[in-house]
Structure 1
Amino acid sequence: MKNLMILGLSAMMLASCGTTQNKQDNLNNTVSNLKVSKDVSNMDNEYLILSDAQQSIVNRGNQFALNLFCTQAGMDSKVISPLSVSFLIGMLANGADGTTKDEMLSTIAGDKNLSMAELNATYAAILRMAANGDKFTTVNIANYIALNKGFKLKSTYTSTVSSKYAANVENLDFASSKALKHINQWCSDKTNRMIPSIIDRLNPSDVAVLLNAIYFNGSWTHQFPKKNTRLENFQGYTRDIKKVDMMHQERKFFYADNNRFAAVELPYGNGQYSMTVLLPNEGVSIDDMMKLLTATEFAKLQQQMSECIVDLKLPRFSTTTSISLNAPLSALGSKTMFTGSADFSGMADAGVFVSAMLQKAKIEISEEGTKAAAVTAGVIALTALHEQPRHVKFHAKRPFVYTINEKNSNAILFIGQFTGEEE
């Protein structure tokens, strides 16, 4: 679980600083001395450990995290939750088939032939670890499906998302304003009010909304003394100088640097979660740095960093981001699910597709620690309305008007009326 970074940012670096202590030894010592909460004190440790297959899926998911981040290039501050997107796509993939399913699995896990059983088991394990990990760090992951009244999911699909993703499935009347309020209230509740809403409008013709929410609240293992925070210069993306509240402390952290960037790892609580901060070297842009990062480097990072005495300065800040995921995910290979050709035959008998996928995320960095939250929503619509035809009567027993139209342009060629009289 230590590989699951909320910000999805990591890299391999050549270790520096003179120390003989290897990071892996330190991590092993930390793990062996973990104090678990009451709820899991009697649990088998293997219950909270990923299998090799599950770890492989997480590693490949990290590559998706890096890929997704690179689609958001720009000069503004931003934060996204790739894991939240992965959970939502995982739920969708359980109801998909053919090209639609292949594309989604390739995007989030790099393998279109990935077993759904393994993928589901991996996400179920992540849910367990989030609920039963560091008692000093709160990580809540929640899944939810709102169904428009009258629309039904297949029982096997409902059973899978309920058991493996702990997803609550609920029927609502999308034509009522109460449905929109209820969905947004769920977002607010599951993110401790950091994300008060996710959808501005609900179309009565939509059939379902799938949601994932992640809430993170961690206290630094080594907090920044507030008395050290000073207003200091910060060089912006375009080299403009800004004033920021700069936190400061000096102590031992795991650190590494190379010819592209330096990195420091800041642990939360008992160390199960941490933030890795990557600082490009002078003359190296964030885009250039991120383009060279791979999942392989991410996996090696844990072994390459070494303990150093770090004079650390980090801005205190808050960032909120709202993005549409249709274009980024299409660019990463998942195109079909957003089209009328989508195959979600495992989800419902009706032809459906993902009309919109969006995410809102927020992060707050302070002297005490980090709060972060994200909600990802997928709106499901019918590819074509398959309503039963109405039974009506049309008895032309009274005067009527008629037209003759050209079908493509709807131009009226003739117009007349009939009142019962004939020539």
Structure 2
Amino acid sequence: MRKIKILTGLCLLIGLTACAPGSEIQWGEPQGIVHKQPKVKELSAQERKEVLTKIDTGMVEAQNDFGLRLHQALSNNPEYSNGNLIISPYSITQALALAYNGTAGGTAAEMSDVLGWKGMSVADINDGNRQLRSLLENGGGVVLNVANSVWHTEDIEMKKSYLQTVKDSYRAEVKEADLLHVDAMDAINQWVNDKTSGMIPSIYDKPPGGVAVLINAIYFNGGWMDEFDPANTVDEEFTLSDGTTQKTPMMKREGPYSYKEGKSWQAVRIPYGDGRMHMLVILPKESSSMDELQQQLWKDTSAWKGDFSHETIQLGLPKFKVEQTFELPDALQSLGMMKAFNRNEADFSAMAAGGEKFWIDKVKHKTVVDVSEKGTVAAAITAVGIESGAAQPTEPIAMNINRPFFFAIEDRDTGAWLFMGSVLKP
């Protein structure tokens, strides 16, 4: 069998969401594929090469690791362990980076340790995030928009140096608002709706309160490099973790894909746009299970970082849409981010002026992932609430994704996992 080796980069996770009670996959036409988007600036090959040389691979690895540890922490919660758990670590990391820039002392030390930034200067962290965003947002034949904002009450004085940093390094919009008033809630929800092209129309159903809200938004719209023909989509049985089955629209296509398999799993990369970004799907073999795969993922992802070969794949991929909301403080604290949530121990002295006492009260996260014959549309919002007080044809390999599976939307140049998660129950 002739194989073409493809080198892949280190993995990075973008944003996080877990399945909340009652959340489910919905079937139907994707609402986001048809959205009009601003024209994407394309970096030239030379420009991309120059930016790539500035990317800190250690930060990329750190974000991947943080995302998987958070995925595990959420999976260990009995309330969420039996459902879908789809996360977007980049969004959470960026929102927490806005908060991290306001910390000092033990609070900063804990957050840097949990986020994998231990030993790095704030300047290096901010520069690394800035360079990564520049690379992700430009090119690839997909739309990827990232936005940040800081909302704070009019009667709270925030340090000018902090506000200047988040403007310069994260292009954050800074707005004053009465966070106890419904007008502020409406304004924040409108910002969320605008930045996600309507995929996530709101983040709050009541005024957020507190003294500040730090928000990250990410919107992804990528058409498959080779679309699935809707005429080939058929309803098939999808086997759930408990052995029962349910009918699921299954998209079908045969063609060359980057493919790899191990003793207990199969993996395929389904490219978007010009091929720089793709969806990585890892499917446990019938002799294995989703639980075994997740244990392996949480322990070591190196099996999916190396060479993939080009093979002719007879692919079946579920058509689905997931919308989920999750509160993250418990999971983040279980990873060791304790002081930031403790009103007595939190040190946000780099953010608060005039001796004010700040701490993190809430971390709210929403995601939407919509997969269809045309491609994938996905969006994520993370709000941190601050309180004061082509190969030669071969025989096709069958890979019918008709049971629980793991997926990640990945940037090939950096290895960045923009969205990732496990689908247990479509």
TM-score bin, normalised by smaller chain:
0.7 to 0.9
1:48 equivalent in structure 2:
51
Unaligned runs of 5+ in 1: 1-17, 26-35, 385-423
Q: TM-score, normalised by structure 1?
A: 0.79
2:5 equivalent in structure 1:
22
Distance 2:54 2:126 in 1: 13
The two structures, once aligned, show a CA RMSD in angstroms of: 2.1
Q: 2:183 aligns with which of 178, 182, 202?
A: 178
Shift of the 186–227 alpha-carbon distance from structure 1 to 2, 3 Å rule, reads same
* 2:147–2:216 CA contact under 8 A, matched in 1: yes
Report the 3-state secondary structure (helix = DSSP H, G, I; strand = E; otherwise coil) of the residue aligned with 1:71: helix
Which ranges of 4 or more aligned residues in structure 1 deviate by more than 6 Å? none
Q: 2:153 aligns with which of 148, 153, 157?
A: 148
Q: TM-score, normalised by structure 2?
A: 0.78
Shift of the 253–99 alpha-carbon distance from structure 1 to 2, 3 Å rule, reads same
Shift of 1:335: 1.4
Q: 1:189 aligns with which of 172, 185, 194?
A: 194
Q: Structure 1 counterpart of 2:361, which letter? A: S
Distance 1:203 1:64 in 2: 26
Report the 3-state secondary structure (helix = DSSP H, G, I; strand = E; otherwise coil) of the residue aligned with 2:306: helix
Shift of the 336–284 alpha-carbon distance from structure 1 to 2, 3 Å rule, reads farther
Shift of 1:37: 6.6
Q: Does 1:199 align with 2:204?
A: yes
2:394 equivalent in structure 1:
none
Distance 1:227 1:39 in 2: 33
1:108 equivalent in structure 2:
115
Shift of 1:107: 1.3
Q: Structure 2 counterpart of 1:176, which letter? A: H
Q: 1:93 aligns with which of 90, 100, 108?
A: 100
* Comparing 38-47 and 305-314, the one that deviates more: 38-47
Q: Structure 2 counterpart of 1:274, which letter? A: H
Over alpha carbons, which structure has the higher Rg?
A: 1
Q: 1:252 aligns with which of 248, 256, 259?
A: 256
Distance 1:147 1:322 in 2: 23
* 2:185–2:206 CA contact under 8 A, matched in 1: yes
* 1:66–1:290 CA contact under 8 A, matched in 2: no
Shift of 1:47: 4.3
* 1:98–1:343 CA contact under 8 A, matched in 2: yes
Q: Does 1:72 align with 2:74?
A: yes
Report the 3-state secondary structure (helix = DSSP H, G, I; strand = E; otherwise coil) of the residue aligned with 2:263: coil
Distance 2:214 2:45 in 1: 34
1:353 equivalent in structure 2:
359
Distance 2:278 2:107 in 1: 35
* 1:80–1:321 CA contact under 8 A, matched in 2: no
Report the 3-state secondary structure (helix = DSSP H, G, I; strand = E; otherwise coil) of the residue aligned with 2:85: coil
| 1:50-90 CA distance string (max 9 Å, x none) | 536x1111112111111111223222223221110110111
* 2:3–2:311 CA contact under 8 A, matched in 1: no
Report the 3-state secondary structure (helix = DSSP H, G, I; strand = E; otherwise coil) of the residue aligned with 2:199: coil
How many correspondences in the alignment? 352
Shift of 1:155: 1.0
- Amino-acid identity (%): 32
2:292 equivalent in structure 1:
288
Distance 2:296 2:256 in 1: 28
Q: Does 1:329 align with 2:332?
A: yes
Report the 3-state secondary structure (helix = DSSP H, G, I; strand = E; otherwise coil) of the residue aligned with 2:110: helix
Shift of 1:176: 2.5
Q: Structure 1 counterpart of 2:246, which letter? A: K
Shift of 1:120: 0.7
Q: 2:132 aligns with which of 118, 126, 131?
A: 126
Report the 3-state secondary structure (helix = DSSP H, G, I; strand = E; otherwise coil) of the residue aligned with 1:57: helix
